[in-house]
């Protein structure tokens, strides 16, 4: 079926996820009110899927935007799909609910559509979300991910979340959950970095084979946050092959980069706080890439991961040392 602005994927628990989502992460120095204004523009433009997280420190603003757009009649709550994330200092089963409730309270919503484990890597369970020792080294913890998952299942059973999933998991970590004794709900998705330079073909194939949706983040090449990302890495939207195709089709590089992933069956998240770009990034349903253009774009893959989280590479559950 042709993709259109209201297209969704059917999740393995029967719920629906819109194929394009509005991302709200911005580097620390960006004022939080921009997330609120951006989310309102996004809903006005037609986005029905919104992604945030406890550590983006903007759930109060994003929730205000959602509630304002419900109050002014633009959307109903059931038309929207909100994703939140369990932060790494809340993996112990007794803290999962606490982590979830903090977010829900900030959002001023009654439920989340999707709640996902943000990272397989766990930090020490304490109030500081980024606990460090006297040398600035992160303090780790190591709960069995299957115990965290059981607590996630309980949130779904209570009706507090419609669907549960994971993020930044590698194949082995997905398999650990899928093969756990007494598994009640499979993860509906794995949200991972995905763009023309990291096209995730192996992980995508694996996820498809298990009926898990691959949700792609940083599809435009990320905001290149200085805190986390190598400033010398090549820039997705400046790629010459991408630009040549965009020029030929009279589209922008961002639109082609997003359309490429959609056509491969990836659900995409894109962030912008610039109203014209929020709109532009949603105009990707009135053109198509042909087989040759898709193949050409397959060819620019470099297995380049912007958010490699090298600072966490010595954690036993660091996800990015495996091939995929």
**Binding stretches for ligand NAP (CB under 6 A):** 23-25, 51, 118, 167-168, 191, 217-223, 237, 252, 254, 269-274, 277, 280-281, 307
Q: Which is nearer to ligand NAP, 115 or 292 (CB)?
A: 115
Q: Helix, strand, or coil here: 47?
A: coil
DSSP string, 217-265: E-TT-----TTTS-TTSPPGGG-HHHHHHHHHHT--HHHHHHHHHHHTT
Give the residue with the Cβ less far from ligand NAP, 28 or 184: 28
Q: How far is the CB of 223 from ligand NAP (least distance, A)?
A: 4
- As measured in angstroms, the least distance from the Cβ of 101 to ligand NAP is 20
Residue 151 sits at φ, ψ, to 5 deg, of -70, -30
Spatial distance between the Cα atoms of 187 and 166, rounded to a whole number of angstroms: 6
Residue number with CB closer to ligand NAP (92 or 279): 279
Phi, psi of 195 (to 5 degrees): -160, 180
Q: Give the closest residue to 11 by CA, choosing from 83, 101, 97, 74.
A: 83
> Which residue in the list 56, 197, 217, 260 is annotated as catalytic?
56
56 labelled catalytic: yes
118 is in an annotated binding site: yes
Q: Quote the least distance from Cβ 278 to ligand NAP, whole Å.
A: 8
3-state secondary structure of 138: strand
Structure token digits, residue 266? 């990836």
Measured from the CB of residue 302, what is the shortest distance to ligand NAP in angstroms? 16
Q: Which of residues 210 and 277 has its CB atom nearest to ligand NAP in the complex?
A: 277
- The DSSP call for residue 195 is B
DSSP codes, 257-304: HHHHHHHTT-EEEEE-SSHHHHHHTT--SS----HHHHHHHHTT----
For residues 51 and 293, which CB has a smaller minimum distance to ligand NAP in the complex?
51
What 3-state class would DSSP assign to 160? coil
- Nearest residue (beta carbon) to ligand NAP: 23
Minimum CB separation of residue 117 from ligand NAP in Å reads 10
**Annotated binding-site residue numbers:** 118
**Annotated binding-site residue numbers for substrate:** 118
- Which residues are catalytically annotated? 56
């Amino acid at each position: 079926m042709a993709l259109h602005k209201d297209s969704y994927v059917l999740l393995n628990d029967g719920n629906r996820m819109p194929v394009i989502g509005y991302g709200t992460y911005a580097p620390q120095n960006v004022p939080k009110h921009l997330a609120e204004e951006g989310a309102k523009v996004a809903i006005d433009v037609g986005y029905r899927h919104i992604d945030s997280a406890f550590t983006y420190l903007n759930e109060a603003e994003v929730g205000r935007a959602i509630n304002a757009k419900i109050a002014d009649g633009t959307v109903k709550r059931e038309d929207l799909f909100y994703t939140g994330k369990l932060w790494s200092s809340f993996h112990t089963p007794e803290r999962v609910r606490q982590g979830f409730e903090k977010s829900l309270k900030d959002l001023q919503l009654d439920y989340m559509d999707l709640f996902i484990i943000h990272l397989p890597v766990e930090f020490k369970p304490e109030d500081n979300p980024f606990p460090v020792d006297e040398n600035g080294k992160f303090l780790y913890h190591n709960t069995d991910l299957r115990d965290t998952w059981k607590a996630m299942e309980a949130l779904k059973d209570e009706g507090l979340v419609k669907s549960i999933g994971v993020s930044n998991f590698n194949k082995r970590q997905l398999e650990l959950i899928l093969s756990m004794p007494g598994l009640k709900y499979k993860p509906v998705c794995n949200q991972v970095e995905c763009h023309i330079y990291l096209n995730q073909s192996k992980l995508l194939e694996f996820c498809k084979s298990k009926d898990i949706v691959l949700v792609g983040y940083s599809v435009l090449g990320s905001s290149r946050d200085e805190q986390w990302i190598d400033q010398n890495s090549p820039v997705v939207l400046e790629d010459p092959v991408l630009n040549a195709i965009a020029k030929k089709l009279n589209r922008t590089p961002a639109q082609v980069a997003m359309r490429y992933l959609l056509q491969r069956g990836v659900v995409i998240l894109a962030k912008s706080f610039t109203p014209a770009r929020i709109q532009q990034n949603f105009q990707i349903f009135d053109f198509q890439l042909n087989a040759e253009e898709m193949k050409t774009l397959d060819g620019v893959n470099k297995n380049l991961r912007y958010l490699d989280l090298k600072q966490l590479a010595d954690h036993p559950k660091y996800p990015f040392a495996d091939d995929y």
